[in-house]
Chain A
Amino acid sequence: MSIFSRYAMDHGDNRALDSAQSVWSEQGDRHHLGTGPLLVVEGLHTGFELQSRTLKAVDGVSFSLDYGKTLAVVGESGSGKTVLCRSIMGLLPRSGVRTSGRVVLAGKDLNQLSPKELHKEWGRNVSMILQDPMTSLNPTVKIGRQIAESARWHLQLDRHQARRRSIDLLESVGIPSPEAALGRYPHQLSGGLRQRVAIASALACDPLLVLADEPTTALDVTIQAQILNLLDAEQAKRRMAMILITHDLGIVAGRADETMVMYAGRVVEKAPTRKLFFSPRMPYTRGLFDSLPRIHNPSHTLLPVIPGRPPDLASLGEGCSFEPRCSSAQPRCRTEAPPLVSGEDPEHLFACWYPVAAGTSAATSPMGAVGPVSS
């Protein structure tokens, strides 16, 4: 990095940067400026105010994510994953929603920023990929504009530069004949290609952090792998951090550095992915793994299921929210909510009074179902 570009970056002068020959490598360096934690979330609470009570969708979530790393957030539908994602960005509407806690991205507390300052972070430093590429792209706006608009806005690119960047991005996410694709509308592309376009638009300003909210749920299995590999490759190339939200444990293996399991708006277990997979401690996590189908089982084997349904978030009791469905629940679980603490391994946090014994799940490890952990 030249002294000039370092100066430009420190002073936020992106126009100087974009006039430089190699836009990508120069901007990629922004990601080296920080080491250690990029995102720190502390005591994040998000409640939706109903008529008489508050629905606690995110209930005291804390974690941190280092530059360039991936955190997977796993949980059932309604466990608060998507709301967590929107709360981190600050995208939720202001009326009827109560948010507290700290979300610090690259040293800036997003909850303290004015709306205008926050808009400068969105798309520039943190961007988002949504679940359904059919609805996350505007059907009436050409693809070229949808990809480049955040870059045009945040980096003040002119029409020509924006076009070049769109072509680069489309090429990078593997869209055939990118120049022709610029003039197309979303409905003219298949679901997989649309998700690639959505990814390209999320990457347009080379963000520090990408929030991928179930990016492959709406896609065919074969396309899922392609999209995940693409995200992996882009992440490595751009050294960006990612929060991968999913309900599919198979996606997490081998892709996330850390995995966080959510239940009823709380983090119930958090560990480096490999450790969590080999030795889940929280009975809920264990239940999730047990409910995966296994290739070695004979056909028509009934899958073990977690009985019951997730609790009503508006009327949570005193105790552990998983207690009503937990097979190893004790009287204490009903009266006292377990804190998220570590056992023998300081990296492995779980919220359970009576955890599954460490290392007992090797035999039923889901690795058999999803393949070896490659990282």
Chain B
Amino acid sequence: MDRNAPPSPLVLCPNCKGFGILKDQRGSYISCPTCAGPGVAAWWAGRWWSWQHPLTEYSIYERHLERNVKALWSALLFVFTLTSIFFGGRELWAAITGERVWQAILTQTWPMALLWFGLLCAMYLYYRIERDATMFPKIPAASLQPVPEVTEWNERAMGDIATICNEATLRILEHAWRMVKAHGREGLSPLHILSALSATREVESMLIRLSILPTELRQHIDTLVTQLPAMSTTPVLNATSRELLGRAFLLAAEDHRIRITPAYLLAAIGMIDDPARDLLDQFGVDERRLHQATTWMLIHEDLRRRVHTYLQNSSSKPQGAIDRGYTAAATPMLDRYSVDLTIRASNNRLPYVVGRDEEMKTIFRVVESGRRSVILVGDSGVGKTYILYALAERMAAEDVPELLQDKRLVSLSASALVAGAGNVGQLEQRVQAIVNEIVRSGNIVLVIENIDQLVGVSSTGGQGLDAAQMIAQELQQHTFLAIATTDPTSYRRVLEHGVLSSAFEKVEIDEMTPEEAFAAIESRVGSIEAQHHIFFSLDAIDKAVELSRRYLHERPLPGSAMDVLEQAGVTAKKARGQKTLVSGEDVASIVSEQGHVKANAVTSNEQEKLLHLEEEMHERVVGQDEAVKAVANALRRARAELRDNKRPIANLLFLGPTGVGKTELAKTVAAVYFGSEEAMIRLDMSEYQDISSIHRLIGAPPGFSGSSTGYLTEAVRQRPFSLVLLDELEKAHPDILNVFLQVMDDGRLTDGNGRTIDFTNVILIATSNAGTQHIQDRMRDGASVSTIKDELLNQELNKYFRPEFLNRFDSVVVFTPLSPIEVTKIVRIMVAEITDRLGRKGISFTATPEAIAELALNGFDPIFGARPLRRAVQEHVDNALAQYMLQGKLGRRDMAVLEPGGVIRVEQAERL
């Protein structure tokens, strides 16, 4: 147990363990002498809360009767009121038309008595409706507080959780109770509650979002409840159900809700130790996913409320250029090249924005502190435009500091401004006219998205000020306010040292955290759903956020995830038609395609393949069992998501003489795991022998000569899911090797542009010939591979690499020199390649065992390993075959047989 964790605000009675009842000596149930019934108590707002509502047939009947009597009473009152007012009103109307009003009022007649009584009844009815709508027990607002010890279980002093459940929640519990009775079970368990929940419209939609079919869920529940203890007496709430209700109460309280709704019952199931939770888990829905489902519901509830409030508040916003004080002037030129965001917001034509409150506060602070303009700096897709939308909404509803009240937020379109301004000075004229209009009008906050596009834009051929400088000049005089946006690279490149930097206060917009992105996407995804008539499962959104963050680094969250969702939605719609549920797998397929990664779940075919990776790799790599096994294990760990996601998939060092298969194994890994040898980024480390070559590797920082993008960083940025092969590592400069310390430890590297490149999806393989002589000598002495490896790590390698560098490798694999049998196997593989090549030309090819043995003997070199083999095969086989083919001695359907002495015997097919 975590000692630093806050104490749980939920306590179970130590005597009855939360049941509230105990069996006495005769086997009958009695109320628990310790807690006297509640069993479970939750601490909130300075008091204990427990479920005190009896759930019995009688209590349910009583509640129904009460509800019906109340409804009937209200209906009778309503009818009586209408009738009374009708008859009384008719009398009064007759009196009014007959000009004897006072006489009618004061004279005793039954219609007049009915009228006054009817009016009283109307007021009484209004009181009943209004009181029911506003005066009910609510969860008190509070925050989590230290939980005291339960000294005394005093039910009277406790709050009753039942009173703060809404009507739907109570009905669900009653429905669950009836099911218990129908099933003949003893306790009302969370399974019954889950079954009852799944039948409600609200939870049904949540379940569908969770990719669970309610009918399928209920079928499972029906099977599971038969395993529960049979009924011996009236069904009662069991201990886990009481805990569930307590948890639901605390969840609702922590979310600052006033009542417990069915969604909280569902969310609480994820927090209890019960078969109901296990069942949901079986459907792939855990506590986190249930929490996401509740958040989804709350966001939409809040959005509905916000839309209502904002629309109400923005109804008084003028729908044109003129402000409410009539001080503004018309801005025809600006209107031609811009969009009024405040008008769009007040017409409910902008998407509602969730989050970004801190950024909004910063903008207000900058604006208020010195009437400064603001530039939002963040990568494309980080949500800068949505911040502008949020500002427009708040300006439309006048929910902004005084300086921004009664103002328009107008977005200038750079492209529209430049379009058609072909004549010399035309663009400058437009800009000047727009600036003059803004200054004269005085009620405009100008938005310039991607202001960097206006830098250097001029129609005078570079003479005089460009469009951005003209605007900046006015801004420096504080004649109007502007909010601009740009990305960090453009800011550094064109704005940081220019006139614009002094005109604007920089506000950095960081990438959202996955949680913030999830909430933001939940609020925005409705527009894609409405547009394409599809539904997104929570798994789809979750996967979009998670996989985009991991694999798609070109755009930050939430933009990257939104793009993926939109594409997944369109693809799913094309494949399965409208009203389809877009799943996490749909999203994973899109990410796999875009990022060249394996983001989707492991299929059964792939499962087989992963389990037999060694065999597959051995088709290309002969021997080197230890190396193949180390690589295969790393790949299996990665695909089963068991690896450390903050480091590369694997950091491996291959040691051994040349020509024993180190590079071949690396190529095989690229082909087997990444789908193609193209996915291998190969660096010959002998090219990085002096320290200045580091700029070629990771890019030159500003102010240094050379490209700001390095070979390694750029290659990994463009293809984050790849194999990085560092060939002949020992030849690199020691300081360059230090660069890889960070890569191997943190899985990231910063390039010359200041961008952080993600290396967490690469397999890093370094090869080295260091200690080759030692390996060969010791192999000759008959030492085991593990002994040689220890000797290498403790002595030989220290001459080339620092110990902390060697320690970063997950595995150091020693490649042993090839044995004659292994060399023969390699020859067979090469012969098979020739057979394959000739087979495509319609020619059969085979080699006799003697010829293979001869080739192995001729081609093998103890120093260069299998490398001369290729040359030997070329000289003795390929050359001769080429000659035969050119001479016409070998054609389609013929068979070539390689025999000892490099002789090729041709068996010509019968000519037809």
Instruction: Tell me whether A and B are bound partners.
Output: no
**Which residues on B are within 8 Å of A, measured CB to CB?**
none
Question: A interface vs B, CB < 8 Å?
Answer: none
